[in-house]
Structure 1
Amino acid sequence: MNIWNITIHNIKSKPLYSFLSIFTLSLSIMLLLGIQQLKFSFKNQIENNLGNIDLVIGAKGSPLQLVLASILHLDNPTGNISYEEAKKIGTHPMVTSAVPISYGDNYKNYRIVGTTKEYMSIYNAELNTGRAVKASLEVVLGATVAQKLNLKIGDTLVSAHGLIDNSIDVHSDKLTIVGVLKPTQKVIDRLIITNLESVWDVHEHKHHNHHETHEQHEDHKEITSLLVTFKSPRALLTFPNKVNKSTNMQAALPKYELTKLYEYTSVGFKTISWIAYIILVISCLTIFINFYKMVKERAFHLAILRTYGATNFQLIKTLIYEALFIVFIAFLTGVLLVKIGMYFVLNTMQTNVQPNILKELPFQNILEIAMLILSMVIVSVTVAIYPLLSMNISTILSHEK
């Protein structure tokens, strides 16, 4: 007796039941995997990219927007602040480091960030090839940028104004690639790093008065934000309030803002997860009803197979194989739907969010979901085939007319 042939025949003989089982199961798998991937990606962005940044200082506005724009690079900045004012903060006795960043341009949707050499140490970033930026109009590429755009040392690029790729407002200055960073799995992988002078020169050199001295020119420089690290956590109690009240700048606590955002989004994550579990239960009930009905309807045929030498174990195997086949097809369909769904959402969003902020779900998480689904299906099938275990062959055959 070829068990696989019988299994395929059983699935083909009831296409509607098979389709409903696969459809509902794959839908629950899609939702569970999708939500898990979003949660994992979100947590990864928060945990990996904060580094030792205690405070973000920038223009007044939404503190969450300031954090998203300055640390995760997922939003527009709230404005600019005076570089001279920002430098004073770096001299405060409570401050260990104050790293300035300035941005407002992009190259093919990847942000160009002007900063100092201390910025790379926040993410423990190291050069893979080439050297660090030494002069204006030189850039170092994050690993993702170099890979996705197929750029190498010596290539030049022309930046576009704004944070979304466009061919209308393009700068005339060419930026030369002098280095490429090693992959870090952090936000710096998708950034183009340069010095502050490059950003200033690209935006302002044509507006400068030729008689203006270097010192006068420096006085009105602006940056986007300042990433601050304190010597002691106690500074968090007083320093942000002091900045907010005594200056025209805004101080935002990144850990607080991102944790609050995660708590808000977790409500939605949990809601969708519960919907997925409800669909999973419905799917298992569909499978249970399907198999239970099949055992009842085919009792005579199963009894005939027993008379030809088939054991209960062999008959049960045909049903188990059918269930496994349904789970396998449903899981592949669910994974495929997640991939298509994520790709569609990211490519239709009118933002500068890069697709690589989504992290692949660890195999362990996928395995846990797969084992949960498989366990529920096996329980459903086991309960459904109980009549088969207590089947009385002679009684069934004698009642067949």
Structure 2
Amino acid sequence: MNNWTISLKNLLNKPLYAFLSVFSLSISVALLLGIQQLDTSIQNQFENGSGNIEMVVGAKGSPLQLVLSSVLHIDNPTGNIPYTEVEKMSKNPMIKDAVPISYGDNYKGYRIVGSTLDFAKIYEAELLEGKEINHTMEVVLGNDVARKLGLKLGDTFLSSHGLTENTIEEHEQSFTIVGIYKPTFKVIDRLIVTNLASIWDVHEHEPEHDEKQEMHEAHEEGHEHDIHEEDEREITSILVSFKSPMGLMTMPRTINAQTNMQAALPKYELERLFQFTGVGVKAISWIAYIIVLISCITIFISLYKMVKERAFDLALMRTYGASNFQLFCIVAIEGIIMVLVSMFFGFLFSQIGLHLIVNIFKSQFQQDIMLTFSTPQMIRTLLIISIIAMLSILLAILPILKMNISKILSDEK
């Protein structure tokens, strides 16, 4: 019978102590790995999925809300701005691209975004099948939308007012699917993209009374709008990229100070958001480390108690030729088994918990989170847990060195 078999039988002989030690350490490992992996995954998702957007211009309000709504599409917009601002901004020599977007409708929870052909270029999106938008009421689907809703080229659907799924306020005009994008693993994967004219037409043609309906029908037949109507048109925001860092340094301050709009920098706002969430991550991590310490104390007490209770058996083994090192191994292996089992179940619990959180996030925001590991962080966390556990095991087996074999055997007799 080898040391591993002896140690395993000793653990099974005291199932309650072993269970409490393994369970508490598993929970702490799950908390640490889970919160760190979730934080890393969300940061990577937000930073990599936002595309090549350096500045967002929209209505006055919260700059973070503007970024979350217009860049990540997980919040409500701050309001609308005049469409004429796009032309003014496009003429600025410091601006490389100024892409207008307008949204406010959805189909089964997926947002319908009106923009120009430059919108797909922001996310480096390419067509998987079909063609780009050439006429109003045509759409190109993000890959996630097409895959999860089972939509294909030529299908039609009615949009619903608002950014959450509902069938009560459906518009009367239907959209036709003319294209599907390749997977990009960015925000555009979960969007339905159309042109600005489609968004305007859907809302302008909404019948409120007979007179308005007749006016819109006449407008639809003419397919032309006078200058006054064009000036009154609005968009939700403008996605901006610059030709040089100078524009990034000067334009946001100018827009915020001299116009009735606001400019927000996605990178800066997301860093601020992660600083706030980082406080919660650190708090949960410290709680988890405290549980780790308590768990290791439990392991220490369990092993120390075992050494004291089985002093006679250990002394007898010593008289039959077993070395102190062999006795150390028997006791240490018990602790190592508990630590390894705890890490396995801790990792398992963390993945189960993360998938539940991802499903909740998906149901609320129609967005999948790609779970990613920060390998150095995970190794560092497991190393810290292992060191604390090994110190507990070492302290528990030290009494073996001070064991008086003759006294223990004589007392037992």
- Between stretches 312-321 and 37-46, larger displacement belongs to 312-321
SS in 2 for 1:72: coil
CA RMSD of aligned residues (A): 2.8
User: Unmatched 5+ residue regions in structure 1?
Assistant: none
The Cα offsets for residues 105-141 of structure 1, whole Å up to 9 and x where unpaired, read as: 2223222222212122222222333333333233223
Say whether the 8 Å CA contact 1:159–1:170 is kept in structure 2: yes
Taking a change above 3 Å as real, the CA distance of residues 243 and 291 of structure 1, as seen in their structure-2 partners, is same
1:249: Cα distance to partner?
2.0
Taking a change above 3 Å as real, the CA distance of residues 346 and 42 of structure 1, as seen in their structure-2 partners, is closer
The counterpart of 1:292, out of the listed 277, 299, 304, is 304
Say whether the 8 Å CA contact 1:163–1:352 is kept in structure 2: no
State the distance in 1 between where 2:373 and 2:404 align. 49
Task: Name the TM-score, length of structure 1 as normaliser.
Answer: 0.88
Mapping for residues 338-349 of structure 1, pairs under 5 Å: 338-345=350-357
Quick one: which amino acid aligns to residue 86 of structure 2? A
Task: Name the TM-score, length of structure 2 as normaliser.
Answer: 0.86
- Between stretches 198-207 and 270-279, larger displacement belongs to 198-207
1:392: Cα distance to partner?
5.1
State the distance in 2 between where 1:259 and 1:306 align. 61
1:157: Cα distance to partner?
3.5
The Cα offsets for residues 11-53 of structure 1, whole Å up to 9 and x where unpaired, read as: 3332332232123212211221222123213321442144432
Say whether the 8 Å CA contact 1:99–1:119 is kept in structure 2: yes
Taking a change above 3 Å as real, the CA distance of residues 349 and 72 of structure 1, as seen in their structure-2 partners, is closer
SS in 2 for 1:164: coil
- 1:22 corresponds to 2:22: yes
2:74 aligned partner: 74
Quick one: which amino acid aligns to residue 40 of structure 2? F
User: Unmatched 5+ residue regions in structure 2?
Assistant: 208-214
1:346: Cα distance to partner?
5.7
Taking a change above 3 Å as real, the CA distance of residues 160 and 338 of structure 1, as seen in their structure-2 partners, is farther
The Cα offsets for residues 329-385 of structure 1, whole Å up to 9 and x where unpaired, read as: 323433344344445556667983235135333455444433432333233213322
- 1:215 corresponds to 2:225: yes
2:345 aligned partner: 333
Q: How many residues align?
A: 401
Quick one: which amino acid aligns to residue 209 of structure 1? H
1:156: Cα distance to partner?
3.5
The counterpart of 1:303, out of the listed 304, 309, 315, is 315
Quick one: which amino acid aligns to residue 393 of structure 2? V
Quick one: which amino acid aligns to residue 293 of structure 2? V
1:258 aligned partner: 270
Say whether the 8 Å CA contact 2:103–2:111 is kept in structure 1: yes
SS in 1 for 2:98: strand
Say whether the 8 Å CA contact 1:81–1:222 is kept in structure 2: yes
Say whether the 8 Å CA contact 1:45–1:72 is kept in structure 2: no
State the distance in 2 between where 1:368 and 1:70 align. 37
2:211 aligned partner: none
